Structure 1
């Protein structure tokens, strides 16, 4: 049997990779390897198995090989490399197994410590390698490990964020204060805790999306509407003066409303029916009094005590494309409909992380709540019904809607936000904010 000779570059890669596999950085989150170690009588793992892991196969040029098919000479070469080069790993007497030189710590004792010295960096291009990220951050301080999490909706590509662990919490804190440019893009740096919170929201949205698609595939019509696009908000005054202006049912005339909606593009095919119906219903609210609305917007755009739809749009479009803003000047609450669920999740996450507990809009804080479950379903059902009603009564609608009651949307999941709460519709449960 001819012994395999590993060149210097391969030796470096092999040592770094195997030491990482058995490190405190990896073991707490690597369930498979941790269980394999715990199930072993001596706490050691087959070196052939380690060599069959994807990154090790790449370093060793093994191709798609299983553990039992890893050549013996390759195992011997790796074992000899670890014996002579590593201070944190040990090799069994027969040269076929590898393990830590120190005891395995309990995961719960390690994870919190690791997270405190890990930061999230974005944007990271899809074709970026671990080595590129490590080399970049090593210019500033010692990097312990780098992770490139996969996209929640497509595990074939990275999500655009790198998790970089440093040797100390102090190093991680210092990095967060720097302005760094990676591959021509300025990096957004934040603690790993913030990344984890957003990741949880993304995974929840993806799970909901998959459930919706499954329902459609199984022929279920009950849940056939887009999910996760809507965020409810309530305006909270940041000044005592505004607090004194809150009055129940105090709304401004229609001439003071400002309609704002992004230019419409076709929605994803899976949601085409619900979206087209909603857009047609909302389009009726945009057709008349354009010049009056523009005048109203210009009149109040610099008034910090008057919130316009354009003010809301400027805040929320930072998180993604705003499809529609359901809000009338003078009201205390409303709803934002995004084009993608990810945008609504980003907005909610950003609001939660602020000291005020919401997003600042002029002299107000917009407190956000998700719209889910029955409330979300009723929202879309109401829009479909609204579109159908308009179609059946074509020619009988004035600007104020049928019988001069302007069709809008109150959202506690209930349709018919009328100007006159005694017009037969359900009462609006929110108060309204005086606009002047």
Structure 2
């Protein structure tokens, strides 16, 4: 009986050690460490070493064991691990010979090349359950599990599995069936999924831009915007308007930009800006202000902003008008009520007098 109990305890300890090792190897892995800013800052402080007490602030490790000595011993036993423990058993680091990859775009692209997008997980699934599922796929070594989340941080039910090699990822994709519980998982290359999402995003932006453009055209026509540059603090809206007037430009609006060095001049839709600038090509002004046509995309962007401002002004005016009408209505009601009360009082006086 005693021998069985000892073996049972040993099995439990081995299981805990295995979980500790797996978690720490993930923290210091190629797929996590290059992107973990917190750990990156820590390893710079002490030749790569990170205090176990610091690592225990990570909830997933602390959920396995909160005992620093247990964690240190688990790493010490694992001689072939990518991590090691110091002599005092209070710090852990990635072995110096295991060079940390540089987290550049090339490395990210290489990771994406061996990653699979999967859909069909319950939105209630926890990270532990997803990691356990990844570990249950015995024929594959999944080095990273990246759940996709809503803005509210809730799990979307989709994720990326990053495999040790592209060949493993391809073999996983070619499996006839992969299930999570009773649900068949939809699978495709992460790169293909991201490409499709980019297409959808670009289409969404195009629709938004088209809608904004149509909205702007209700207020402003293109071709009547001029940019003024080389402004100084002494240049005011009125000064710019004076110069425009000297050129016989019909100006609707002038706005000095935040940098105070440039301004936008919106003309009345009489003569296009290009023609006006041709007419003053050989002219100068006392303030040495230069005038130019904006690029098409810049003009659209500026007019979009002006449209937002215009709509805001109109909405404010409309709100103020409603408030005035509301106050007038209340005033008329109060006057009517006073008249009724006065008439009622007069009737009572007459009745009492009779």
Query: TM-score, structure 1 length as denominator?
Result: 0.41
In the TM superposition, what is the alpha-carbon distance from 1:198 to its structure 2 partner? Answer: 6.3
- 1:198/1:94 Cα in 2 relative to 1: closer, same or farther (>3 Å)? farther
Q: Deviations over 1:336-379 (max 9, x none)?
A: xxxxxxxxxxx826xx8xxxxxxxxxxxxxx9873214724856
The aligned counterpart of 2:102 is 106
Displacement after TM superposition at 1:58 (Å):
1.4
Q: Distance in 2 between matches of 1:112 and 1:373?
A: 30
SS in 1 for 2:19: helix
- CA RMSD, 1 decimal: 3.1
Contact 1:28 1:111 in 2 (8 A): no
The answer to whether the 8 Å contact 2:55/2:61 transfers is yes
Between structure 1 and structure 2, the one with the greater Rg is: 2
Count of residue pairs brought into register by the alignment: 201
| Secondary structure in 2 matching 1:172 | helix
Distance 1:132 1:41, change over 3 A: closer
Written as runs of structure 1 = structure 2, the 5 A alignment for 1:421-432 is none
Pick aligned residue for 1:127 from 108, 124, 127: 124
**Offset, 1:107:** 1.5
Equivalent in 62, 66, 76 of residue 83 of structure 1: 76
Contact 2:112–2:191 under 8 Å retained in 1:
yes
Match runs of 1:29-428 below 5 Å: 29-37=35-43, 39-60=44-65, 62=66, 74-86=67-79, 87-101=81-95, 102-108=98-104, 110-128=107-125, 129-136=129-136, 138-151=137-150, 153-155=151-153, 157-178=154-175, 179-197=177-195, 348=200, 370-373=206-209, 375-376=211-212, 378=214
Identify the residue that residue 361 of structure 1 maps to in structure 2: none
In proportion to residue count, which structure has more helix?
Answer: 2
Quote the offset at 1:144 in angstroms. 2.4
Following superposition, the deviation at residue 111 of structure 1 comes to 2.6
Aligned to 1:315: none
Unpaired runs of 5+ in structure 1? 63-73, 202-346, 353-366, 383-436
Distance across 1 between alignment mates of 2:13 and 2:196: 42
Deviations 1:4-63 (A, max 9, x none): x972222111110001100001112222212322x2231111111112201112112x5x
Mark the CA change 1:379 to 1:91 in structure 2 (over 3 Å): closer, same or farther.
same
Check the 8 A contact 2:114/2:162 in 1, yes or no. Answer: yes
Residues 213-271 of structure 1 show CA distances to partners (whole Å, capped at 9, x for unaligned) of: xxxxxxxxxxxxxxxxxxxxxxxxxxxxxxxxxxxxxxxxxxxxxxxxxxxxxxxxxxx
Contact 2:34 2:100 in 1 (8 A): no
Q: 1:368 to 1:10 in 2, by over 3 A?
A: closer
Stretches of structure 2 lacking an aligned partner (at least 5 in a row): 1-9, 219-354
How far residue 140 of structure 1 moved from its aligned partner, in angstroms, is 4.1
In the alignment, the residues of structure 2 paired with residue 374 and residue 121 of structure 1 have an alpha-carbon distance, to the nearest angstrom, of 33
Deviation at 1:192, TM superposition (A): 1.8
Map Cα deviations across residues 378-415 of structure 1 (whole Å, 9 max, x no partner). Answer: 56999xxxxxxxxxxxxxxxxxxxxxxxxxxxxxxxxx
The answer to whether structure 1 residue 16 and structure 2 residue 22 are counterparts is yes
Could you tell me how far apart the structure 1 residues matched to 2:204 and 2:101 are?
41
Question: Do the aligned residues in 1 keep the contact of 2:122 with 2:157 (CA within 8 Å)?
Answer: yes
> Higher relative contact order by CA 8 Å / sep ≥ 6: 1 or 2?
1
SS in structure 1 at match of 2:145: strand
Is the 1:79–1:96 contact (alpha carbons within 8 Å) kept by the matching residues of 2? yes
